[in-house]
Amino acid sequence: MTEALDLEDRRRPLKSAQAFRTISEAAEQLNVPQHVLRFWETKFPQLKPLKRGGGRRYYRPEDLALLKRISDLLYTQGYTIKGVQRLLGEGEPELPLGEPPEESALAEILAELDSISVALRRL
């Protein structure tokens, strides 16, 4: 089985970072199914891959960057589709990327919220 994967890797030459990607290459790079990319195209009007004859999609490097942002916001940071649409619609130049907040930071916030809750109950 690993031999089949090795043969597959050998067949695909490495593309430059500026090269356009097919939907299968983009999906593989983002680790999402192709139908998810098609769905995102319907939900995010900013995402407009180049379409050639027969409807074949080619994603530009800027399309891939947007797809990575959307994927990160949805799958890593836990945003909803509507939340990402709002962020993109507001024209945020720098969308939050990276890892979700650390557990210690979340624990501090929860402790503070608990103390506020106790104070409010006393009123």
Q: Which CATH class is domain 10-122?
A: mainly alpha
Give the integer Cα–Cα distance in Å for 30 and 37.
10
Mean pLDDT for all residues in the chain: 80
Give the separation between CA 113 and CA 118, rounded to whole angstroms: 9
Domain limits of the chain?
10-122
Give, as one character, the DSSP assignment of residue 44: -
User: For the whole model, what pTM was predicted?
Assistant: 0.62
CB neighbour list of residue 18: distance below 8 Å, 6 or more residues apart: 61
Query: pLDDT for 59-118, tens place per residue?
Result: 999 999 999 999 999 998 889 999 999 888 876 555 445 555 556 666 777 778 888 888
Distance CA 49, CA 61 (A): 10
